[in-house]
């Protein structure tokens, strides 16, 4: 265990640590109904997740008739956030094997970080509701560092490394946002095939792809 190659492992949240589409999807559809747009399917909302709530809603409007005037968009965005906060953990659960993998990494002396484009207050509220907050030394949301510093910029990864006291870092995620952020920060990255992949997992350009959390520790040991 002393020879584990990483001191810090960072995780995306939605589609990586947790399966949250059954709560995010209804929030998107609620926002769409406030401006008379058609609903979109759960499979479709799954493909919108990854860039944060604002980008998710922008993409939903692109699918259902195009952009809205800014004032209408902001109103719908506010409705999305209100609905989501009220139902943030109704159906969201950690992926199978996730908690055991986090425990295994902690037993190997790893510090763990959440690096998500989700707004920080909602990230913390969700992790609190699932009893997961105390597993992480650092929780960074897409708004934590200010405009232009969320993934795919390297800033969140660089900040997590500093906040954890430095050391070798690996990223775990499910989207191009995660892989590009890791590449921009010059750290290795593992992609999950079962997340909310905006590309096929094999095409994301990660250093490795896993199909289940039970394989994560072994894959990290080989990077």
Q: Tell me the C-alpha distance between 164 and 160, whole Å.
A: 6
The answer to whether the peptide bond before residue 165 is cis (omega within 30 degrees of 0) is: no
- C-beta separation of 196 from 15 below 8 A: yes
Distance CA 122, CA 69 (A): 26
CA distance 176 to 178: 5
User: Concatenated DSSP letters for 110-142?
Assistant: -EEEEE-SS-HHHHHHHHHHTT-GGG-SEEE-T
Q: Which residues belong to the active site? A: 12
Residue in 218, 179, 223 with CA at minimum distance from that of residue 201? 179
- Counting DSSP H helices and E strands in the chain, the numbers are 9, 8
């Amino acid at each position: 265990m002393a020879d584990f190659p990483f001191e810090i492992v960072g995780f995306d949240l939605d589609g990586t640590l947790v399966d949250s589409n059954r709560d995010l999807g209804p929030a998107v559809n609620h926002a769409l109904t406030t401006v008379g747009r058609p609903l979109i399917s759960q499979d479709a909302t799954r493909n919108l997740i990854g860039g944060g709530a604002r980008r998710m809603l922008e993409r939903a409007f692109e699918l259902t008739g195009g952009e809205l005037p800014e004032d209408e968009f902001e109103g719908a965005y506010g409705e999305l956030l209100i609905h989501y906060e009220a139902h943030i953990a109704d159906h969201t659960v950690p992926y199978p094997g996730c908690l055991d993998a986090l425990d295994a990494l902690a037993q190997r002396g790893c510090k763990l970080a959440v690096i998500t484009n989700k707004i920080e207050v909602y990230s913390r509220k969700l992790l609190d509701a699932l009893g997961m907050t105390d597993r992480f030394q650092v929780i960074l949301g897409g708004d934590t560092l200010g405009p232009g510093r969320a993934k795919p910029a390297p800033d969140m990864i660089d900040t997590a490394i500093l906040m954890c006291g430095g050391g070798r870092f690996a990223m775990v995620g499910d989207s191009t946002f995660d892989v590009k952020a890791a590449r921009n920060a010059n750290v290795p990255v593992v992609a999950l095939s079962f997340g909310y992949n905006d590309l096929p997992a094999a095409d994301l350009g990660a250093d490795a792809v896993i199909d289940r959390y039970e394989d994560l520790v072994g894959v990290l040991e080989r990077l």
